[in-house]
Amino acid sequence: MTQQHPLTSSELGTLWMTYQSKTMILRMLEYFIAQADDTQAKEIMQNSHHKIINYVENIKNIFINEGAVIPVGFTEQDVNIGVPKLYDNRFDIMFLRLLKEINMGLHTLHINMAYRKDVVLLYKDLTSFTQGVYDQCVDYLQEKDVLPRPPAVTMPKSVEFVEGTNYMSGFNLFSEKRALNTIEVAHLYHAIESNIIGMQLITGFAQVANEPEVKKYFIKGKELAKKIVTDNTQLFLQSDIQPPSTWGANATDSKVAPFSDKLMMYCTSLFCSFGLGSNALGTAFSLRSDLPLKMISEAKDILTYGQEGGKLMAKNGWLEEPPQMQDRNQLTK
């Protein structure tokens, strides 16, 4: 049997991140499963929960075999299953779909940071599993007719090439802006869609947060998501494009917390990271000059908000510290 190489710093770091997010998802699924009144939705979430438990145990075993401490992550103390429903029907699968979208990107990125065969295989398996659950969520939401689709478009009949620099105009207030192209629409639509879900999620968080400072933070996040949705919708309307309709699953009027403030803060932080990544892609692939500037401004607001959240988590002792490299300066003192 070939002896395994020790975990590299990259592998330890990505496994630690995966453990944090998977234990968070387990706790949230446990609440949504208990609240589910749709058999099909419940089955999707139960199957996902069962598989994630196995992945968490796999990561635990890697840590144990390497002599590394097992992270705390999120435990049964971070969820209260028996409280009233915080979100309307369908929100559970909408939320799970967005989580799987985030995880698909993370797992693919983490494969490229792994060198040891067992870690590479873990992320490959996670990627396949995550894509499968994502497809199940999409199929379910389309069956229920609650998943808005991006705007329709007339199919091109000929190949066109950009002539001159007017195609990229948009920043100059006195120049005429061209209509959005389909690549730009795709990124703007994605930003609207994900921020609508984020706005609904964080509205519920704001209603049930225990700490006043945390409640205030969530309200600020709701307003930020609302602003991003409004600004991007306005860009659609300027090009006579129908913006996506608002999804029906909203927060209920419950004020009893199903999750700890720690878990809700971490979930919000994960969404901020996802928003920054999506924003960077949109900036890179938008050719109209006003769009990257608008996206950079949004990214700055998201980054500032995320940093405020990190400070708030640290202040309350909720920010678990990732594994550290040796401080050689300290060791040589």
pLDDT digits (tens, 9 = 90+) for 4-57: 788 999 999 999 999 999 999 999 999 999 999 999 999 999 999 999 999 999
**9-143 is classed CATH 1.20.1260.10:** yes
Distance of CA 164 to the CA centre of its chain: 38
CATH of domain 166-315: 1.20.1260.10
Q: How far apart are CA 123 and CA 112, in angstroms?
A: 10
The neighbouring-strand residues paired with 251 are 87
Which residues pair with residue 297 across a beta bridge? none
**Cα–Cα nearest to 248, from 103, 117, 87, 110:** 87
What does the pLDDT average to over 219-248?
A: 87
| pTM for the full predicted model | 0.91
- Residue 178 CA to residue 82 CA, distance in Å, equals 53
Consecutive H or E run containing 149:
none
More confident residue, 228 or 328: 228
Higher pLDDT, 168 or 189: 189
- Residue 34 and residue 46: Cα distance in Å, rounded? 10
Q: Are 16 and 7 in contact (CB under 8 A)?
A: no
CATH 1.20.1260.10 residue spans of the chain: 9-143, 166-315
In terms of pLDDT, which residue wins out, 64 or 89?
Answer: 64
Q: What end-to-end distance do the CA atoms of the chain give, in Å? A: 42
